[in-house]
Amino acid sequence: MRDDVKDFLAEEIRKASKEGNLTDNRELAAAGSRFFNSEFTPDMIAARVESAAQIESPDIRILQGKGCYRYYSSRSMSDSYAEILNFTAEGDDIMLIASTVRRESRTYPRPSILSQFINAPFLVKPDRLDQIAEALAADTSEYKDIQLSSASNGDRYLFSSTFLEKSQADYMAEWESVDSMEIQ
Amino acid sequence: MALKGGWAGTILRVDLSTEQITRESTEKYSRYIGGMGIGYKVMWDEVPQGTHPYAEENRIIFGVGPLTGTGAMCSGRTNITSLLPSNPFHGVSDSHMGGHFAVEMKYAGYDAIIIHGKAKRPVWLRVVDQDVTLEDASVFWGQGTFNTITGITAIMGKDSQVAAIGQAGENQVNLSVIRTGPSHSAGGHGGVMGSKNLKAIGITGTGSVKIAGDRNAWHKLNKDTFAIVGANNQHVVPSTPQAWAEYHDPSSRWTSRKGLFWGAAPYPIETGEVRPEEANKIGYRTMKAIKDLGPAAEKYTVRMGGCASCPVRCHSHLKVPELAAYGVSTNVANTCVGFSGPHGIMKGTYTIEGKTKDEANVIGRTTGSQIADDYGVWCNYGQIGRDFKWAISHGYLEKVLPREEYNSLSMDKWEKGDPDFFREFYRRIAFKEGELATLGEGAYYLARKWGFGEDYWTDKNNKLWTKLGYPVHHSNESDGIVGGVISSMFNRDAQCHTHQNFLGSGLPLNVMQEISAELWGEGAIDEPANYTPVNDAKVRFIKWSIIRNILHDSLTLCNWMWPMHVSPLKERNYRGDTALESKFFAMATGFKVSEAELDEHAERIFTLHRALTAKQMKSTNLRQDHDQLTGWQFDMDPDKEAFSKGTIKLDRDDYEKALTLLYREMGWDEETGIPTRAQLTKLDLKDVADELERMGLLTA
């Protein structure tokens, strides 16, 4: 396996990460083919990146997409951000929101204000937000832990009942959207 | 002990009654560090028990500290100490202002200005280095703070700094401010200046502050601090997910992101993403305008401003052309409660023809801020608005105001959300026009005069923390009992951000709990709204938070940024450096002190504050007379028990236990909360113990 190919791939991944983007094995196959004037398939790229990530370039991280592998460098991109970009790239805004809500309820913990999903890097269409929130809150199987909470000013939040009780989520939503405006 | 650096070395004393201006050495106060510490020592030594805030015998002390003006990060605060007019027993308290007044004092050569007596006619104090004079203020008397500051600046030159009162202060309205620069207010003591016929202080300093330590080492220390500083309130994660950041928090004040602009700047300025290593771009991190005024503020924002030696810039400077319609300058600057306080008097949202709800919110809040600032009316940390609305909603306003006065109020404007209502509201308060002006006397006096029932104090929506008449300020919503006890220790709203900045840093709970365990022990902090009873670690957290707050107000450093418990750096496991204050202090002054030793100096100052409170209240039991809550804290959320999820309800027994444990930690009488002779002696405050004993107030 040629080291210069692996070096090229690692640098391409790092360059994309520095610009705040993931790259995938299809894009890299095209770029590699152009650069080396030699045919690379996405599968060949996937194997080389996996090898590089294990040995020479431990900063390179791999995410599984539906039809591809996506890559980033931990030198300039966090795991949490890459996970968001991966869901965004998949075009599955329900999964994007559900996974973010679960992570925030588990990690911080806090309920997730719905309006944040309109902004980068989520970029969920505003007219989809309420629809998704209602769908998640009504779901009784895969997303049965995702629930709605509202502050008195109308701000809507989602939380995972696996990690937060509703009363806690309600308190935090009201604090964040209303009470904290008066106490700074 | 000779002062080698840090301190200017001189305190200016002005007796307005005799017009005598004298100087004394700072040395006698060095054990009290500066700022707040000097203020308390002067108050203890010179102001007799029972003195009224507006009496000639009262002092007002403008204090700065050994770090002010050194260039240490966020060292531009002025601490003002005096008796507090709105407090029922006129307890000693502090008000603070940022800006550039503090460093100008140091450059002029002063660590403090002690003012007493009463001028025979309105005067302003002119300080140009060693040239200090009292000037006729008749031309400024009756003017608002904006004209006064502008006028005195025109006389002294653009390099001067001015602190002034408005009409509220002149008329001895209890809730009044002292203001400096375009946007910096110290709430609470404006009336004390007014009672002394002192309209303003103008300072020009052409000197410098000496650093005792090595210059290169000083620069390295400052550089190290730049590496671990976050955004405003030392929030260390961005408010939106960003590639470089492992964590984010929508409530963080680290708002910089791609696509966010200072929309009214002369040319487009995008805050962009500002990574931790980009020290030269820290000023873009916090765009407070959108936090305080909502998303529409982006297009009105010219820039962010702030205080001397502060890279963080938490004051929003805006151009709001619509303000011309309300007769105020279209250039407006403020931050936090400077915007939300005036807004609190309004019924709710604003209605302005042709404007969106979000635009009207910016216009309304900035109008209120301009008018309140110009008259120099203080909001008592938002309480004046809640008081006004309580009086309306419970029928008091209509009952206590004479019919003619009530009918003259433009309540239709209030109902509609017309910002023009601010003009008449604040004018009446500032000029003490009619019965409505009672709102400006503060919650305790208002409740007594207008006959508010007990429900006024016990309604949680009124947010009154104790019957001393001040509201919550990072209280039980801040780690339950921790913020709860901190809020009870002062004579006004606890302006303590040590604990709140830590709790609001934006880091996840597990990281926060690791750091808090290292600093105060296991169990110091809980999951939000899932609080547990008091324990030793929480008590250490309480004490440390207060002590560091006191330390900052004495050094002076900004407690809205300091201490640096945490950092934005993953490679440091998000740890900050809590020894930075002592490192700066040692290098500036040449006195080698450890972190713990400097904290002990602050403990002395806090203990002196406690003794001052006992003296002023003539109390032999501060637990009973001072530290008790209004009650809603224990009775809120009737369907929930304290220590259950989803509530910040406190437990009565746990609160009393927390007081006992804190008193023990502080070396105070565990029953009464009065400092003991042993502890006072240990802290070199034997004279204070003797005086308390002489007054019959020493209980152990």
Contact B243 A76 (CB under 8 A): yes
* Res. B66 pLDDT band, cuts 50 70 90: very high
Closest residue of chain A to B341, computed from CA coordinates: A182
Closest residue of chain A to B571, computed from CA coordinates: A75
| Mean pLDDT computed over A82-87 | 96
> How far is Cα B236 from Cα B506, in angstroms, rounded to an integer?
6
Q: Looking at CA atoms only, how far is residue A119 from chain B in angstroms?
A: 8
What pLDDT is recorded for position B199? Answer: 99
Written as one letter, the residue type at A51 is S
Q: B682-693: per-residue pLDDT in tens?
A: 999 999 999 999
Q: B421-475: per-residue pLDDT in tens?
A: 999 999 999 999 999 999 999 999 999 999 999 999 999 999 999 999 999 999 9
Answer whether residue A1 shows pLDDT above 60.
no
On chain B, the residues whose CB falls within 8 A of the CB of A184 are: 292, 336-337, 340
| Mean pLDDT computed over B473-499 | 97
Contact B249 A110 (CB under 8 A): yes
Q: B137-189: per-residue pLDDT in tens?
A: 999 999 999 999 999 999 999 999 999 999 999 999 999 999 999 999 999 99
Query: Is A108 near chain B, with CB under 8 Å?
Result: yes
Answer whether residue B1 shows pLDDT above 70.
no
Closest residue of chain A to B275, computed from CA coordinates: A76
Same-fold call for B10-204 versus B481-562+594-694: no
SS (H, E, C) B580-635: HHHHHHHHHHCCCCCHHHHHHHHHHHHHHHHHHHHHHHCCCCHHHHCCCCCCHHHH
Here the tokens at position A16 are 């994309």
Pairing of strands B301-305, B10-15: unpaired
Contact A116 B250 (CB under 8 A): yes
In CATH, the number for domain B10-204 is 3.60.9.10
Domain ranges of chain B: 10-204, 481-562+594-694
> How far is Cα B133 from Cα B147, in angstroms, rounded to an integer?
21
Q: B327-378: per-residue pLDDT in tens?
A: 999 999 999 999 999 999 999 899 999 999 999 999 999 999 999 999 999 9
Is B481-562+594-694 a CATH 3.90.1640.10 domain?
Answer: no
Here the tokens at position A130 are 């309420």
Sheet hosting strand B60-63, strand order edge to edge: B20-25, B10-15, B112-116, B60-63, B78-83, B92-97
Answer whether residue B561 shows pLDDT above 70.
yes
Contact A167 B245 (CB under 8 A): no
Contact B344 A182 (CB under 8 A): yes
Answer whether residue B219 shows pLDDT above 70.
yes
* Res. A183 pLDDT band, cuts 50 70 90: confident
| Mean pLDDT computed over A24-42 | 96
What pLDDT is recorded for position B348? Answer: 87
Q: B431-444: per-residue pLDDT in tens?
A: 999 999 999 999 99
What pLDDT is recorded for position B696? Answer: 98
Pairing of strands B10-15, B112-116: parallel
Q: Looking at CA atoms only, how far is residue A108 from chain B in angstroms?
A: 4
> How far is Cα B578 from Cα B566, in angstroms, rounded to an integer?
9
Q: Which of B247, B251, B527 sits opposite A109 (nearest CB)?
A: B527
Q: B254-294: per-residue pLDDT in tens?
A: 999 999 999 999 998 999 999 999 999 999 999 999 999 99
Contact B508 A20 (CB under 8 A): no
The answer to whether the Cα torsion of A159, A164, A166, A170 is positive or negative is: negative
Q: B86-143: per-residue pLDDT in tens?
A: 999 999 999 999 999 999 999 999 999 999 999 999 999 999 999 999 999 999 999 9
What pLDDT is recorded for position A3? Answer: 75
Give B38-42's long-range contacts (Cβ < 8 A, gap of 24+): B38/B11, B38/B63, B38/B81, B38/B111, B38/B112, B38/B554, B39/B63, B39/B79, B39/B80, B39/B81, B39/B82, B39/B92, B39/B94, B39/B112, B40/B81, B40/B92, B40/B605, B40/B608, B40/B609, B40/B612, B41/B608, B42/B81, B42/B112, B42/B114
Mean pLDDT computed over every residue of chain B: 97
Q: Residue B471, by phi and psi: left (phi above 0), alpha (psi -120 to 50) or beta? A: beta
Q: B631-646: per-residue pLDDT in tens?
A: 999 999 999 999 999 9
Here the tokens at position A163 are 């990690």
What pLDDT is recorded for position A2? Answer: 64
Q: How far is CA A28 from the centre of its chain?
A: 20
> B78 has which bridge partners?
B97
What pLDDT is recorded for position B3? Answer: 83
Q: Looking at CA atoms only, how far is residue B21 from chain A in angstroms?
A: 39
Q: Which of A80, A169, A180 sits opposite B251 (nearest CB)?
A: A180
Q: Residue B279, by phi and psi: left (phi above 0), alpha (psi -120 to 50) or beta? A: alpha
Q: Looking at CA atoms only, how far is residue B243 from chain A in angstroms?
A: 5
Query: Is A153 near chain B, with CB under 8 Å?
Result: no
Task: Kindly provide the b/e burial profile for residues B531-553, where b requires at least 16 CB atoms within 10 angstroms of the residue's own CB.
Answer: bbbbbebbbbbbbbbbbbbbbbb
> How far is Cα B173 from Cα B445, in angstroms, rounded to an integer?
12
Contact A168 B251 (CB under 8 A): no
